[in-house]
Amino acid sequence: MSLAGQLRPIVAAVVVLAATAYARAEEANDYPTSARAEYVYGCMKANGETRQAIEQCSCSVDVVASIVPYDRYVTAETALSMSQVRGNLGAQFRTSEQANSAVNDLRRAQAEAEVRCF
């Protein structure tokens, strides 16, 4: 067997691994920069505006992004925001099974981020 014939399976395996790694990186980085910035800003307001806080909050958003898909994050953030509204409109978000499930997913991811980053 020639050298080219021996290298073909290795090259094919490397291409598959690279494509898989790229796809996973894309999944982990599907949060837009503005959403990450808003998360870090809110986190820093809650944890102090220090250099250490920016490091911890940046870590936290990365952990959350690795656990909760962006569309699920948007659902949770919307539910949390809208549940603050008084009356019937807010009640729909406070009692929605889908909204509560998304919020619980986000809270679990934030708890994991707390353990890993703070």
Over residues 47-95, the pLDDT tens digits come to 999 999 999 999 999 999 999 999 999 999 999 999 999 998 888 888 8
CA dihedral of residues 31, 58, 61, 78 (deg, nearest 10): -80
Same domain? For 50 and 100 the reply is yes
pLDDT at res. 93: 85
Same domain? For 38 and 25 the reply is no
Region for 48 from its dihedrals, namely left if φ exceeds 0, alpha if ψ lies in -120 to 50, beta otherwise: left
The number of folded domains in the chain is 2
Same domain? For 38 and 21 the reply is no
Same domain? For 55 and 81 the reply is yes
At residue 20 the predicted structure's pLDDT band, cuts being 50, 70 and 90, is: very low
